[in-house]
Copies of this chain bind each other. A is one copy, B any other.
Amino acid sequence: MLEWLETTLKRLNVTDTMDPPQGFTRLGYTQEEWAAMDVFQQVAEELGLNVRQDAAGNRIARWETEQEDYPSVSGLTAIPGASSRPAVALGSHLDTVVSGGGYDGVAGLLCALGAVKWLKRQGFTPLYPVEIICFAAEESARFGVSTIGSKAMAGLLSVEELAGVKDQHGITLREAVEQMGLSWSDITKAERSQQEIKRFVELHIEQGTRIEKSGAQFGVATAIACPIRLKIEVEGQMGHTGTTPMDERRDALVAVAPLISFVAERAEQLSASSPCPVVATASTLQVKPNVMNVIPGWVELGIDIRSVDDKLKIQLAQSIKEKCAELEQCYHVKIKIDTLVHNPSVTLDRSVADDLLQTGERLGYKGLLMESGAGHDVMNMAHKWPSGLLFIPCREGLSHHPREYAALDDLLMGTHILAAYLQGEAGE
């Protein structure tokens, strides 16, 4: 199994080595993502699953129940209504950020495929269909919008609002989707009914170090900290760097610098004084005109705020707004604040979480109930179906980085936990 996991990990990453110096770049709705999805389909078909692509470009690999596949050959008693039974679904994604790692997303599909392989070898016969869903475009790296495929499946996609969002080359989401042979106006057809899915579970690398620090071996999330994202636009005044006296400047970069420090310091203070952590990052910054001899006249800063406690997020966003008002006065600039994203945090189904925890511990692994600081496809699925999120550790908590790494032993552990979970949920 270890060897199969190692080989399939590389296959899904469309690579010969897991250590390319620039990492992996498979942005959503690109040929690179599609090539990896084609491999996913191939591996799933090798395992005997039927694979289809939905209207959003998600690939759904399905292990049908006996009755449907072999109604006359198997000799088993027909299970009444089996064909209409809801599926127990696993899933994750294959797209990455720019220069990301080969485990974020991939690990979840690899372990799910491994679990099916394992169960097939054990001669397991599912009473409920088992699905592995490879979601399209989970990362926000290309369009600033995350989890597009799972939003579509859960009926949460704002088709009109998102059609025109652009990537850095000016390609709209609508164009990108259509370049992959899909139809933007049909994308909502990817929505599935509540009856189609019994449970959804995503396995993901932790992207943090809490599992390791607590002495556990795997984690199970009870909630997902969804972000508030702010766009801060600062308008100052360009001018020649050599001829404009210091006291006559309205430098947009000088005005925004204290805000960058403030965001980090305030998040640290709030976390220290609250039972629940809050993290905040000034993660994007653009300066115009960005040339050596011109005073920055315009700066745009993107801020990402996360906590499973929505009140803390709102409190921090509020202090950022107050700080901006202060900076406007102090540096004689104009500051415009847009809330790009304000997603309430998602509480996951407690019984699924308990099942996952017990399943792992029965196999002899120590588990940790925890929150997820990152969003995942499961947060959309959880709006419609009882859902769970299983974490395996990754080295130094590193993610979205070429050095992202999860040990094969941990991938094997994840495979075993998912297989045992499927045995319970899709068996009797």
Contacts and interface: CB of A to CB of B under 8 A. Distances in A.
- Copies of chain A in the complex: 2
Contacts of A261: 254, 257-258
A279 B400 contact: no
B264 A306 contact: no
B283 A293 contact: yes
B375 A242 contact: yes
Contact of A241 (B240, B277, B279, B293): B279
A95 interface: no
Interface stretch (A7-15, A191-199, A205-213): A205-213
Contacts of A244: 207-208, 279, 373, 397
A182 interface: no
A291 B140 contact: yes
A139 B242 CA distance: 13
A284 B279 contact: no
Interface string A32-50: 0000000000000000000
Contacts of A292: 140, 144, 229, 283-284, 302, 304
A302 B287 CA distance: 12
A281 interface: yes
Contact of A243 (B285, B293, B296, B373): B373
Contact of A283 (B283, B294, B398): B294
B399 A289 contact: no
Nearest to A249: B264
A280 B246 CA distance: 8
A66 interface: no
A248 interface: yes
Interface in A247-290: 247-249, 251, 253-254, 257-258, 260-261, 264, 267-268, 271, 277, 279-287, 289-290
A108 interface: no
Interface in A399-419: 399-401
Nearest to A403: B238
A98 interface: yes
A222 to B, nearest CB: 15
Nearest to A263: B254
A206 B140 CA distance: 46
A97 interface: yes
Contact of A97 (B209, B285, B289): B289
Contacts of A139: 293
Contact of A279 (B98, B245, B372): B245
The 8 A-B pairs with the shortest beta carbon distances in the complex, nearest first, are A242-B373, A208-B243, A257-B260, A242-B374, A243-B373, A207-B243, A241-B281, A246-B268
